[in-house]
Amino acid sequence: MVAGWRLLIRGKPEEAALPDSSTGLGWVPVPVTVQVDSGDEIGILSWSGSSMRYPSLHEALRSHDAERLRPDLSSQATYYMECTLARLHGVQFGSTDYIVDEPFERGPALATLASSMIEQESRRIADSAFGLLSKLG
């Protein structure tokens, strides 16, 4: 599966030979070049070979595909919080970053999870052994 996705990333879908039933079942971390004030840096982008595209998490969870695939809402909420906790470290998301989903944040899936994960991350930031991610460079 990963080898097939790598071929898709490299623009060689004819060599990927991924059956339709297997795409969209997971995400592959892909290195990307990110432009920052100090120059180019390497970051990680989550990428899926699936043709399913949604403008937001809450819309994806209300879709026909979600009815059929029945994603684990708890896992989706945890992953969402892991991604957006970067805000506590000073990362700002702009209008072209589609990670922040305010309707999802107001929903029941994050009701208790958000506060506990924010508290945990805040404790890590206050701990000198961890601190802000920006201290890593």
Q: Are residues 80 and 19 in the same domain?
A: no
Q: Are residues 71 and 86 in the same domain?
A: yes
Q: Are residues 68 and 43 in the same domain?
A: no
Q: Are residues 46 and 100 in the same domain?
A: no
Q: Are residues 58 and 41 in the same domain?
A: no
C-beta separation of 104 from 80 below 8 A = yes
Per-residue pLDDT of the chain (137 residues; tens, 9 = 90+): 566 666 666 666 566 555 554 444 566 677 778 777 788 777 777 776 666 778 889 999 999 989 988 989 999 999 899 989 988 988 888 777 778 898 999 988 898 899 999 999 999 999 988 888 777 66
Q: Are residues 66 and 101 in the same domain?
A: yes
Query: How many structural domains is the chain composed of?
Result: 2
Range of 25's domain?
1-50
For residue 97, what are the contacts with CB-CB under 8 A and spacing of at least 6?
none
Quote the pTM value: 0.62
Q: How far apart are CA 40 and CA 34, in angstroms?
A: 6
